[in-house]
Amino acid sequence: MKGIVTALVLGSLWLLLSGIYKPLILGFGAGSVLAVVLLMARMDRTDGYVPEWRLKPVAFLAYLAWLMKEIARANWAVTRVILSPRMRLRQHLFVVPVTSRGDLAQVTFANSITLTPGTVTIETEPGRFLVHALNYGDETPGELAEMDARVAATEHRRG
Amino acid sequence: MIWLGEAREILAWGLILSGSAFLLIGAFGIVRLPDFWARLHAASIPDSAGMILLFLGMAVHSGLTLVTVKLAIIGLLLFLTGPTSTHATANAAFVSGLRPHEGEGLEADEPLESPPATSDPQQERAP
């Protein structure tokens, strides 16, 4: 059942992106869809792990809007560092506590840290991330704590 | 209403050119910054600002067409895979023992399971 839904979604994506309806191309599409569905079934058999979703869609969109603003600000900060004649760096490796428990929220938080220039998630551990900052300042942990709180607000509390 | 098309063109090219500028700044940073960890941060500028501005510019340029739908799908994919691959690179370097140079008066926090630390040859050369 899950396989049929996946095949339908992937098939329509192929048709939308290719827009060429010749037998050869359609055959390639059908082949790729089949291969992906079989691969996914195989991966399900080997680990059977179901990621936790727990997403609040509206809160998530609000978070994305806030993230765009953060990305703009961080880009500007790193651009200034790169273009300044004497690059003042204050590199630092530090631990950031993580409040979110769902898989999706944790991935969102880790990717958001990496996506904002100046900070990169290096290691993910239970309940904490190891983060590297290019230009560490006193305000850096506070900014990441705010991001953590905003990500945690996009997931349902349960279990 | 002739000027509307012109305005859209100007907006689109403004976005595309500023996106390109960020790609250039990112490349510039990769050359200028001193070591692996610092360069990693320069690489995330084209990933975020460059990519977003370029895609917005191309979307404005092509208007509400199938091309914009495709752009949105590709943009979403890059938005997810870009940081993931940056993380994979950083994590691989960290696991193989490359440690960042700490800023003045700062001390690195340790991971829960610490892999053996080796020195970074690039940092030994720098004063």
pLDDT tens by residue, A96-108: 999 988 888 999 9
- The answer on A62 and A43 residing in a single domain is no
For residue A95, what are the domain limits?
57-152
* Structure letter (DSSP) for residue A116: S
Q: What are the structural domain ranges in chain B?
A: 2-97
Please tell me whether residues A146 and A97 are part of one structural domain.
yes
Say if residue A27's pLDDT is above 90.
Answer: yes
Residue A22 lies in a domain: yes
User: Closest to B22 (Cβ–Cβ): which among A75, A92, A111?
Assistant: A75
A9 with A77, same domain: the answer is no
A37/A78 same-domain check:
no
Q: Are β-strands A128-133 and A92-97 bridged in parallel, bridged antiparallel, or unpaired? A: antiparallel
Task: Tell me whether residues B106 and A92 touch, CB distance under 8 A.
Answer: yes
Rounded mean pLDDT, B86-102: 89
How far is it, in rounded angstroms, from Cα A75 to Cα A115? 10
Asked if B108 and A89 come within 8 Å (Cβ–Cβ), the reply is no
Across the interface, of B42, B82, B103, the residue whose CB is closest to A92 is B103
Question: Do A77 and A139 fall into the same domain?
Answer: yes
Nearest by CB to residue B91, choosing from A72, A93, A123, is A123
pTM score, two decimals?
A: 0.83
Q: Is residue A106 part of a domain?
A: yes
ipTM for this prediction: 0.81
Cα distance between residue B54 and residue B46, in whole Å: 10
Please compute the mean of the pLDDT values over residues B19-28 and round it to a whole number.
94
CB contact under 8 A, B100 and A134: no
Task: Give yes or no for residue B121 having a pLDDT over 50.
Answer: no
Element (H, E) at A83: helix A57-83
pLDDT at A129: 92
| Tally of domains in chain A | 2
- The answer to whether residues A78 and A141 belong to one domain is yes
Interchain contact, A83 vs B102, CB within 8 Å: no
Measured between alpha carbons, how far is residue A61 from residues A5, A45, A58, A71, B46 in Å? 25, 33, 5, 15, 23
Tell me the residues of B at the A interface, defined by beta carbons under 8 Å apart: 22, 25, 28-29, 32-34, 37-38, 40-42, 44-45, 47-49, 52, 66, 69-70, 73, 79-80, 82-84, 86-87, 90-91, 94, 99-104, 106, 108-109, 111-112
Residue A158 in any domain: the answer is no
The verdict on A85 and A144 lying in the same domain is yes
